[in-house]
Amino acid sequence: MAPIRKDTVPQGPAEVTAQRLRERGERVTPARLAVVEVLAGTDEHLSAEQIGERAEQLRPGIHRATVYRALDALGEFGLVTHVHLGRAGTTYHLSGELAPRHLHLRCSECGKVLDAPGDTLDPTRRKLQRDLGFKLAPEQVALVGICADCAG
């Protein structure tokens, strides 16, 4: 049996995060890894407070303020991003190579948040760039409308 090469072993989000942080000369902290583990372990759209609660459960002793700083740092490194959901607040999720690019759709009737493929608005994105020189970043906001359940 041939030995397993390290570069062919699949890596999870926490391992990829640790590797990316080391490559940048950044610290790999328990709070940063806990944030990534929380986000990797759910399909929910979590607020910073919810991430903090779950991170404390994973790694007792992590202070909530440390989790908020970890969210900010991971955002700067392109590993976590946030989306503004209007009245529902701001939620966070993995981004970059840690998660597929996607858009958020929020129902104005029931508040449900749905994910849509990240390339859905690519024609609009290209047109705005070409015609106006504007670089659209729809991943940062929720598109508002009415979901199929509420539309009846």
pLDDT value at position 4?
A: 44
Does residue 90 come out as left (phi exceeding 0), alpha (psi in the -120 to 50 range) or beta?
A: beta
**Tens of pLDDT, residue by residue, the chain (152 residues):** 444 445 555 588 889 899 999 999 999 999 999 999 999 999 888 999 999 999 999 999 999 899 999 999 999 998 998 888 877 678 898 987 788 888 899 999 998 888 899 899 999 999 999 999 999 988 878 899 999 999 98
Prediction pTM value = 0.79
Q: Contact, 15 vs 28, CB < 8 A?
A: no
**In the beta sheet, which residues pair with residue 105?**
114, 143
Which of the 8 DSSP states describes residue 121? T
pLDDT tens digits for 54-98?
999 999 999 989 999 999 999 999 899 888 887 767 889 898 778
Q: Cα separation of 131 and 72, whole Å?
A: 33
Which tokens sit at 24?
């940048």
Q: Is residue 35 packed enough to be buried (19+ CB in 10 Å), middle (13-18) or exposed (0-12)?
A: buried
